Every structure is written in C-alpha cells, then in structure tokens.
Chains A and B, each alone.
Chain A
Amino acid sequence: MKRTRHTLLWLQTLVAMLLLVCTTLALAATPALSPDEAAVDARLKAISRELRCLVCQNETLADSNAKLAQNLRREVRKLIADGHSDSEVISFLTERYGDFVRYRPPFKPLTWLLWLGPFALLGCGALMLGHIVQRQKQQDAPPPDAATAARINALLAQQNKDTLA
C-alpha cells in the first residue's frame, strides 16, 4: 500500500519533469514571419542572436561590431525582407561558413550525443537514484506495529528538532 504511494510520487515527479521539458521546448520554437520594418528588425535580432560572429573571439552576430558581422547582418536583413524563412537564412550562412556559424548546433548524427547526452545522463541519474532508494528499502526491517510507529515518530520528531540543519 505504502509502496504504491511512493511509486506514485516518483511517477508524478517524472511526469511533471517531462511536462516541464515539453513546455520549454515548445516555447523555444520560432515564430512566423511578417513583412513590415519593425518585424524585420525583430527577426534580424532574433536570428543574429543565435549566430556566431566568425572573426570575433566568441560573440554573437547581433552583438559584434566587426566589419564582417555588419556585412552579414546586412545580407540577413535583405534575405528577411525578401520574405525568406528563418531556416533559409540559416542555410544561406551554413552553405558559406558551415555549422560553426550556428550557436544552436543542428540535430544530426554528429550532434546526437550533444543533444541527447544530458537527457541520457538524467535518465542514468534517475535510475541510480531509484536503485539506491530501493536498496535502502529492501534492507529495512519489517514495519513496526502502530503503537511502536507512533513512538518512533515522536522520537524522530524530537531528534529532528535537535539536529535539523
């Protein structure tokens, strides 16, 4: 009975985590395009934030004042104004400069480890956590009867008062 409840707790936590992940990923998706000047500016800014200034040490295209960065911003702006989609703009740049120009590496076999690694790690961590917690339980003595349990709880509460930190 108690065990089911704990399993439920972990399941709930897991579902909550997954939901959070999905929300974040959904929020990260890019918006649709629109023709007017301010919108072009906004899209230029959004795109160039994810692109690398090639000649600088480690700056985005949006932040750099290097000559090449200015030229590239001009070209990107032109492409946006001509109605090209974000992915077309990105491929214009990657055709010329390669994936190095993207701060968000594309998802392809070479980057599977990069993109999936953290979540695989999280999975391993969760398994390990479950394993350790489970092992602790297995080695427990059989649960005490109600009266003893109440006394133990009272003692625990007292001890917590003393040492909680």
Chain B
Amino acid sequence: MKKQWIWALPLAVFVVMVGFFAASLDKDPRELPSQRLDKPAPAFTLPLLENPQASFSPAQMHGQVWLLNVWASWCAACRSEHALIGQLAKQVPVVGLNQQDEAGAARAWLAELGNPYLATPTDDDGRVSIDYGVYGVPETFVIDKQGVIRYRHLGPVTEQSINDVLLPLIRKLQA
C-alpha cells in the first residue's frame, strides 16, 4: 500500500515543465510559420504602381524562380532592408508588392532609394497580402519555377539571412 513514488510526482511534473520553459526561452512567441509554404502562390491580378493601366499576376513569372517582397513607404524596416533587396535583385527577379500605400509616397520612395523591382503591383486594400498570410511588413517569399512558395522570410532581410538561407535556396531552385 505504500506508494512512495506518488510523493515525487509533483517534482517530476515540475522538472518536465522546466524542460519546456528552457526550450521555449529562445523562441519568439509571435513568429508565425507560413501556412502557404509548399503550396501554389495564390493568383492575383493587380495594377502596377508606375503604370496603373498595366497589371501584374504571378502567372507571368512561370518558369523562373522569383521573390515577392511585401513593402510600403510607411514601413521603417523596409527602408533598412532596401539596399539588400537591391543586391538580391541582381541574382533573381524581385517583385515588390506595395501594401496599402499612397501611390505618390511610394513612387517618391522608389525614386529616392532606387527601384530594384521587376514590377510593383499595388495591393491597395491588403486583400492579396491576406491571401499570402502576410501579417507584418516587410515579408519576402521565395517562389519556384512551378509557382510554389518555398520559403517565407519574416521582417527585414539581413546580410546573414541572404547568405545563409535565401541565396543557397534560390540557387538550388534555379538549378
């Protein structure tokens, strides 16, 4: 009838809990995995910033690896990553999805910082961004030749993320 182990049960439960806490210390509770990963990039047709009569749709990129970079002129982090996006654009076509921006401000922003984008579709009401599961600006998607989303980068890209993740992946997909 003497069940000695039962007295150690609280300790055991606590040890397991501490394990979980330790494992979650270096995790960001707000960093969400993309639901669109390894799924076809949602189709859309949006007018271009430079020329609202013309439009862009992902189908036009079929057969090549490309990046979709979500940006806005009101977004401070976009400014900080812009030069790096320019470098990336030399290796791979980058499409800049301009989210809920004012056309004049967005054009001025590109004129000031340079325009690395192959095209800049304007997502005025944020609907396309929702389809891509975007929840912050900037975000960058890597889309393969078949039009499947292979990677999503949250927040501004960095030298390190480009060299360690983005470029190797892009080269692999391009091969």
A-B contacts, CB under 8 A, total: 35
Interface stretch (choices B53-61, B124-132, B164-172) = B124-132
Please report which residues of chain B, range 103-126, place their CB below 8 angstroms from some CB of chain A when the two chains form the complex.
Answer: 125-126
Interface stretch (choices A8-16, A90-98, A107-115, A151-159) = A90-98
Does the CB pair A97–B126 fall under 8 Å?
no
Does the CB pair A71–B133 fall under 8 Å?
no
Q: Which chain B residues border A94 with CB–CB below 8 Å?
A: 35
Does the CB pair B35–A95 fall under 8 Å?
yes
Digit string of B137-159 for contact with A (CB within 8 Å is 1, else 0)?
00000000000000000000000
A72–B32 alpha-carbon span in the complex (Å): 17
Does the CB pair A96–B32 fall under 8 Å?
no
Secondary structure at chain A's binding surface: helix, strand, loop or mixed? helix
Does the CB pair A54–B135 fall under 8 Å?
yes
Does the CB pair A55–B135 fall under 8 Å?
yes
Does the CB pair B35–A71 fall under 8 Å?
no
Does the CB pair A100–B32 fall under 8 Å?
yes
Name which of B100, B126, B132 has the most chain A CB atoms within 10 A of its CB: B126
Does the CB pair B33–A96 fall under 8 Å?
no
Does the CB pair B36–A96 fall under 8 Å?
yes
A75 with B130, Cβ < 8 A, contacts A55-B136, A67-B100 known:
yes
**How many residues of chain A get a CB closer than 8 Å to chain B's CBs?**
14
Least CB distance, B136 to chain A, in whole angstroms:
6
A114–B64 alpha-carbon span in the complex (Å): 44
Does the CB pair A97–B125 fall under 8 Å?
no
Does the CB pair B127–A71 fall under 8 Å?
yes
Digit string of A39-81 for contact with B (CB within 8 Å is 1, else 0)?
0000000000000001100000000000110011011000000
Please report which residues of chain A, range 89-137, place their CB below 8 angstroms from some CB of chain B when the two chains form the complex.
Answer: 94-98, 100
Chain B residue with Cβ nearest A66: B135
Q: Which chain B residues border A97 with CB–CB below 8 Å?
A: 32, 35, 133, 135
Pick the 8 closest A-B CB pairs, nearest first: A54-B135, A71-B126, A96-B133, A98-B35, A97-B133, A100-B32, A55-B135, A96-B35
| 13 A-B residue pairs with CB within 8 Å | A54-B32, A55-B135, A68-B126, A71-B100, A71-B130, A75-B127, A96-B35, A96-B36, A96-B130, A96-B133, A97-B135, A98-B35, A100-B32
- Residues on B facing A (Cβ under 8 Å): 32-33, 35-36, 100, 125-127, 129-133, 135-136
